[in-house]
Structure 1
Amino acid sequence: MISSRTGRLRAFTALGAAAALSGGLLAATTSQAAAEPVDAPAASQCPDPFPHTELQEGQEVTGVTNTRGTTLDPFSGTYVDTIVGGIGRGRDMLVFRLEGSRITKADGTPDAGIWSGISGSPVYAENGELVGSVSYGFNDGNETLAGVTPAEYVYGVKPTTVTPEQVSLAPARTALARQDVRVAPSASLKRIGTVRQVSGVVAGQLPSVRRIASRAGTSGTFVNGSATSKDARTYPIVAGGSVGVTWSFGDITTASVGSVTAVCQADGGTDVFAFGHPDVWDGESDQSLHGAAAVSISAGTFGSYKLSNVGAPVGRLVEDRLEGIFGRLGDLPVSVDLRTSTTFRGRTIPGSTTITETDVLPFITALQTYSDVDTAFNAFDVGGDSEIGWKIGFKRANGKGQSFARSQRYSSRAWLAEEVVSDVASDVYELLENEFEDITITSISVTNTLDASYRAYKLGKVERQVKGTWSVVKPSRPLDVKAGSRLRLRLTLTPLNRHAKVKTTTRIVSFTTSKYAAGSGRLYLEGGAYGWRDHDEYEDFDEMHDDEDDEDPFRIYPSAPRTLDAQLKLMRGIQRQDQVVSVLAHRGRNTGRLVNTKSTLQLPSIVEGETRYAIRFRR
């Protein structure tokens, strides 16, 4: 379960060297790295902090990190100087020249440099005390100069009190783009990237992931990575070893992977300090912690990266601060189970993802749905037809459980996978961001039936039956209708274009007009897919569903909701794309009150088009 008390969805930035990659793409193997024996760290798992103000120029240090499997390998370094306030106000940065562990080659020449994923690796003084964690680099190449976060700051991330379970999450987050301290592409100070690995999509479709993320209120740099689950292999959490922080895990795993700085036994539990810089700078957090195994270090001219496999969840992230992250082993975070079922050509593909970060619920729901369609079609840039339904379980502010369900139909010649995510992700967003109650989403389920055919109608001619004879109705001429009589219309639906696999068909719409109707009125015929392709962003609920035309005096529009129940009613009433809605509008003879009578036709395919007709009522 996840509380909605988080304000607006935040935009995040996956910081570090990943942003410098051309195109931001990185393909990582998803095969499990063999679990190897863990070497003993160079010092205690929880050493005392070394006073960083006592460092002397040329002082030698050692450290441990992880470049393959779960084996720890050493590196060494020499203290250069301190940048006063280099991390932030009142927070100094220690500068070391490092070598070993893929930073340099055996002959001391640069290899991968300060690679992404080394962040958090502990640096020890000769007496075994913790100097700090390797957390910053100075350019995007194979530079061996590193910025180290002092141990005093790293340990200071732990809060005074750690509760066994934190249900409430942090308040609204803000965009992190402005936090990047890079000042020049060739020589700059930057956090060593904790790459946001995403499973469930192939490398060629990472641009789609970015588009979906943007539409769902999330942004950032994504790379391909391995999936993990609750029953995956458990990798050890040790100083210098790899650690992952995930928003979600399962079919869609979204993990930042870095290194552990220290593991301490305290307060009856096991504390984990890592990264030496923020993940996304949430402050209080409640994501899941995972051990990880390194696959390899990918060295490049514009940045080097650790590829890794993320293991099963072993704890939860508690604090995400400027000086590093702090977590606790044993207690897992509260979460939402997302379950999907996608059927194509008689084969049903189940989907399962556990989500622990509130702000990305719409994004992960959309990404799982997108991945399901791609997996079912097993082809790129595919069009077709989708009938999709979803159910969102949630708990009201009074503790009462409730659910919201809706369905929709989509059909397109291409990119169907991106189109089908729109409504389900939007509904998750609207529930989280409702202005009336703090609700807790408890579950999300999605069922999707796919067909390879593109099927789409458009509204064609409209005929009216008078004394048994059908005649074409022209929008340019008002319809004369006797108050209290029956208005019977025949709608012709034709293929939207030559690619649409539908046949021309007709449907009947019938209204019994009020005997109190008087003066002029209006008839509206609207296909549910009218104007759909122009909708490209998730918007606020009032903007997305309020199409009021100030110049139209005959339409009755719903009032802005004032309660959660009213908002849910509006959401349930959103027109499906495979429906034609007819509205007959008139005013009362004596009262002048406006009346809208609605009729809905259900079609087997989406329908585009809109038309309206003027009506004159006579007695």
Structure 2
Amino acid sequence: MKVTHSWRRYRKSILALFFCWSMSMAQAVDFMPVSEVQTGMEGIAKTVLVGDDISTFNVKVLGVMENRGPSGDLILAKFSGPVMEQTGGIAHGMSGSPVYINGKLVGAVAYGWGFADGTVGMITPIEDMVKLWNIPYEKNLSNSWSDDRLIPMGTPLMAYGFDADSMEYMKSKLPQYGYETYDTASATGDNVKKPLVPGGSVAALLVDGDLKLGAIGTVTYVDNDQVVAFGHPFLKHGESDYFMHNASIFTVVKSVNSAFKLGSMGSEVGTVTEDRGAGIAGKTGVIAHGIPLRFQLADYDMGRERNTSVKVIEDPEMTPTLAATSFYNFLNKTLDRSGSGTATVSYKITPRDNKYKPLTRTNMFYSSESISEKSVDEFYNVVDVLMNNRFIDYEIMDIQVKADVTKSKVTAKIVDATASPVVVAPGDTIVVDVKLEPFRGEVVTKEVFFKVPEDQKIGKATLEVRGGGVVPLPYVLEKQKYNLTDEIIRRLKTYKDFDELFKEIQDTDTNNQIVVEFLEDGVSMVNDGSSAKTAKKAKLESVERNPLPGDIKKEPTASESLSSDKDEKKQEKTAVDTEYIIQGDGQFSIDVMSPAKRDKVLAKRAKEAKQKAKLEKKLDRDASNTVKASDDKGSSVNSSGTNNSSSNDSSENDANNKASGSHVS
């Protein structure tokens, strides 16, 4: 029995070696250079129409178009045969179909004429395609080369698991590519890895996992673990890290514009390492790491939860959009509705380099139109800023996202606030009681303690109370006065290093916070009696105190840098979290003095308040005596006197409070 098992294992090994040798022999083929291609030459091309079965169609050379392609020459050809009759001409997805003349590989079917029938097209020479295996390092080239009369035959994106709204969102963020997307399905056997062969199907994916997004084309040539395909650019990003997958074709769909192959994107088999004018190139057996995203989503109203994941390519231009689109899509499917709602979104972005801290942030959002889209905006901006910052190459290892959504409007408006004291010295604490009116709820009060900065300037100051996502109204008015757009505001802000940028993203106010801070000098809606001519104008750098995370502004000049060392100081503020999205703002006028002067002023005000209280008490007593003189019942007079005494004590307390406190303006 042992001998039998050994023989079987030996026989399997021999068959495996024979299979590998057969594959390498089958793929060993001579090339025909463009210089040998002549008008009238005939050959065949290979492609898949259904499943994995390779079909052939006829090719006849019409001529050579010198230097007309993105990487050099193109070969003009006429295509014919039953396949062309069935498809109506070359279709999207046939790009990369290898063309053979006299048994030699000439190149790949890649382009068609926009104004002609689909049986005339161009071939990219194989000589240019295999150069992609040894190309010098170059990163993120410009967008795809184009000729208005030539149409690459493989640009549609197959989308698995995405809804129409998320695809529109993606296109709005990446309009420069202009790709059409088509919904597709999975196929039986997609999880089985299959060897890539010339004429077979291959897919280059941007998103993989529970969602898939990528382009399907045809393999042109395989040399051991090296592959070239498409014959034209996919995105023309140069050096790339797309996910290389098997593909299986359902059918060729005829279209008014151009037919296309509809297929499934199967098992991951390698990495697309180059994306250039002559096509895409990659290696099998090497899996691109990408950026994994894990989502934990919940709809409170329906009691529905979803845990899901994808990985997206690591690319500064595309990753933010692909990550946000995936988030948007999963949120849509979890809610199974459109429209208003409130979301609490938390995310953690972990860098590959452990010398940098993970970024964690939680925020609340409300939208009356589309809570799904509103929920992903900040997430998109943060990923974009991190990956495209000017300081370091921030490589992301992992992203985790949690979102809880309800249809309820979880907002509260600031309806009133009191601050005490309003005469302070640097280092003092001001207690701010903020009254909030929740949407269709009872008024609640939140207490905020604000410490006056130790280096606060002496004089009048404006204390702002606002929701974390609210731009103070005085800043809005200043912005309008100087006709400053959001883009100008963003460009006014700068950071000295990545740590400062990271801290701003991490600590930027959230929509559910009550924020208390001093406004910039001279920017106020509180009428303190000062002349408009003597009031200082706000510094342009601070017209808007709540920019988007990571906003960039211009570098200061040398003279500005020297003066800013004296004038600029860290903006002190206090932020308190709440369970609501806070709306509205208001201001207090605060007198900042030296400790000695503060004590003197407070003592004087307390004395004046006491005298005022005594005067009010005397007037009340006189009024009470008048009542006594006209009233025959002493018990009623005594009761009245007692009540007046209580009222007088209250008046005295109110007077003392007024001496040191103030209501919001």
Indicate if the aligned counterparts of 2:190 and 2:265 stay in contact, CA closer than 8 A: no
Measure how far apart 1:244 and its partner are.
0.7
Say whether residues 1:113 and 2:113 are aligned partners.
no
Match of 1:252 in 2: 211
Measure how far apart 1:337 and its partner are.
1.4
SS at 1:152 equivalent: helix
164, 168, 183: which one pairs with 1:207?
168
CA distance in 2, matches of 1:386, 1:362: 20
Measure how far apart 1:609 and its partner are.
2.3
Indicate if the aligned counterparts of 1:73 and 1:101 stay in contact, CA closer than 8 A: no
Tell me which amino acid in the other structure corresponds to 1:239: P
Q: Number of matched residues?
A: 511
CA distance in 2, matches of 1:561, 1:118: 49
CA distance in 1, matches of 2:43, 2:284: 29
Say whether residues 1:294 and 2:249 are aligned partners.
yes
- Listed as ranges, the matches of 1:177-576 within 5 Å are 179-182=145-148, 188-203=149-164, 205-213=166-174, 219-226=177-184, 232-265=191-224, 270-345=225-300, 346-359=303-316, 360-379=318-337, 381-396=338-353, 400=355, 402-464=357-419, 481=423, 483=425, 487-494=430-437, 502-511=441-450, 518-530=458-470, 560-576=494-510
Measure how far apart 1:437 and its partner are.
2.6
Indicate if the aligned counterparts of 2:97 and 2:230 stay in contact, CA closer than 8 A: yes
Measure how far apart 1:563 and its partner are.
2.7
SS at 2:415 equivalent: strand
* Change beyond 3 A, Cα 1:603–1:63: same
Measure how far apart 1:531 and its partner are.
5.6
Measure how far apart 1:227 and its partner are.
7.3
SS at 1:123 equivalent: strand
What percentage of residue pairs aligned between the two structures are identical? Answer: 24
Measure how far apart 1:547 and its partner are.
6.3
- Listed as ranges, the matches of 1:76-115 within 5 Å are 76-88=58-70, 91-100=72-81, 102-105=83-86, 111-115=87-91
SS at 1:402 equivalent: coil
Measure how far apart 1:592 and its partner are.
11
CA distance in 1, matches of 2:260, 2:470: 47
SS at 1:201 equivalent: coil
1:73-126: per-residue Cα shift (whole Å, max 9, x none)? 11112221221222147x221111112464324xxxxx432211110001111x
Measure how far apart 1:579 and its partner are.
1.0
SS at 2:147 equivalent: coil
Indicate if the aligned counterparts of 1:244 and 1:291 stay in contact, CA closer than 8 A: yes
| Larger relative contact order, structure 1 or 2 (CA cutoff 8 Å, min sep 6) | 1
Match of 1:48 in 2: 30
CA distance in 2, matches of 1:491, 1:549: 34
Indicate if the aligned counterparts of 1:525 and 1:580 stay in contact, CA closer than 8 A: yes
TM-score by length of 1: 0.74
Match of 1:475 in 2: none
Tell me which amino acid in the other structure corresponds to 2:323: T
CA distance in 2, matches of 1:308, 1:464: 66
CA distance in 1, matches of 2:320, 2:362: 16
Q: What root-mean-square deviation, in Å, do the aligned CA atoms of Structure 1 and Structure 2 show?
A: 3.5
Measure how far apart 1:249 and its partner are.
0.7
CA distance in 2, matches of 1:592, 1:435: 26
46, 51, 72: which one pairs with 1:69?
51
Match of 1:29 in 2: none
SS at 1:364 equivalent: helix
CA distance in 2, matches of 1:308, 1:548: 44
Measure how far apart 1:47 and its partner are.
1.8
Match of 2:139 in 1: 171
* Change beyond 3 A, Cα 1:502–1:234: farther
* Change beyond 3 A, Cα 1:507–1:124: same
The farther-off stretch of 234-243 and 523-532 is: 523-532
CA distance in 2, matches of 1:195, 1:586: 52
* Change beyond 3 A, Cα 1:408–1:272: same
Indicate if the aligned counterparts of 2:417 and 2:433 stay in contact, CA closer than 8 A: yes
CA distance in 2, matches of 1:335, 1:425: 17
Tell me which amino acid in the other structure corresponds to 1:527: G
The farther-off stretch of 236-245 and 352-361 is: 352-361
1:169-216: per-residue Cα shift (whole Å, max 9, x none)? 95344344xx2211xxxxx222223322233322355322323446xx
* Change beyond 3 A, Cα 1:286–1:510: closer
* Change beyond 3 A, Cα 1:191–1:451: same
Which structure has the larger Rg over C-alpha atoms? Answer: 2
SS at 1:180 equivalent: coil
Match of 2:98 in 1: 122
Q: Which runs of 5+ in 1 are unaligned?
A: 1-39, 106-110, 162-168, 183-187, 467-479, 536-542, 551-558
- Higher normalized strand content (fraction of residues): 1
1:259-280: per-residue Cα shift (whole Å, max 9, x none)? 1111222xxxx21111111112
SS at 1:375 equivalent: helix
Indicate if the aligned counterparts of 1:393 and 1:444 stay in contact, CA closer than 8 A: yes
Indicate if the aligned counterparts of 2:366 and 2:581 stay in contact, CA closer than 8 A: yes
* Change beyond 3 A, Cα 1:338–1:594: closer
- Higher normalized helix content (fraction of residues): 2
CA distance in 2, matches of 1:419, 1:383: 10
CA distance in 1, matches of 2:404, 2:368: 17
CA distance in 1, matches of 2:43, 2:406: 62
Tell me which amino acid in the other structure corresponds to 1:208: Y
Measure how far apart 1:141 and its partner are.
6.8
TM-score by length of 2: 0.69
